[in-house]
Amino acid sequence: MSISTAFKFTTLGCFILLSAAKVVPVLAESANFRTLNLSPGFSRAAGTARGFTGGSYSLPSIANSDREGKRCLGFGDTQPDHIMVLQKDFSRLQLQVDTQGKDTTLVVKGPNNTVLCGDDTGSNKDASVSQPKWSAGTYEIWVGTFDAGARWKYTLTAQQ
């Protein structure tokens, strides 16, 4: 085989591989813990997941702040802790972390790169986010801490 023929086959092969790569769908990122699949009227059990914090990934690198100007804070894993799939639009939804009083943060990234950031809930150090009008779609949820690598068990609860 001549060099020119080998070059044509190599060039053709690269073109085919690049073309195929463009049509392969991007797979949804997996989560460290349970995925929440929610429809309006979901049960308490469906809206509850457990996990533990950990990681040294700076969560502000996902977003510095959300659309309301709340700063995204803390450290977590590079991969989301949970995926939440809303089957329909919700008129109101709250996500609450419970570690029995440890200082946690939340970062939620949703459809159209919507970001929500949460820190303390009133006098409670555990984080929450709450807002009206959650669009149907897939949300990635990170539960963070202010100390990189801190490992605390938590319960994440979604409430309507």
pLDDT in tens, 53-86: 999 999 999 999 999 999 999 999 999 999 999 9
* pLDDT value for 29: 66
CB atoms within 10 A of CB 60: 17
* pLDDT value for 1: 55
Q: What residues are paired with 2 via a beta bridge? A: none
Rg (CA), the chain: 20
- Domains in the chain (CATH in brackets) are 31-159 (2.60.120.380)
* pLDDT value for 12: 39
pLDDT in tens, 114-152: 999 999 867 789 999 999 999 999 999 999 999 999 999
Type of residue found at 134: W
Does residue 33 contact residue 49 with C-beta atoms inside 8 Å? yes
pLDDT in tens, 88-117: 999 999 999 999 989 999 999 999 999 999
What are the structure tokens assigned to 157, written together? Answer: 């609860």
Query: Which residues contact residue 45 at a Cβ distance below 8 angstroms, ignoring those fewer than 6 apart?
Result: none
CB atoms within 10 A of CB 82: 22
Q: What residues are paired with 85 via a beta bridge? A: 37, 138
pLDDT in tens, 1-50: 555 544 444 443 433 333 333 333 333 468 999 999 999 999 999 999 99
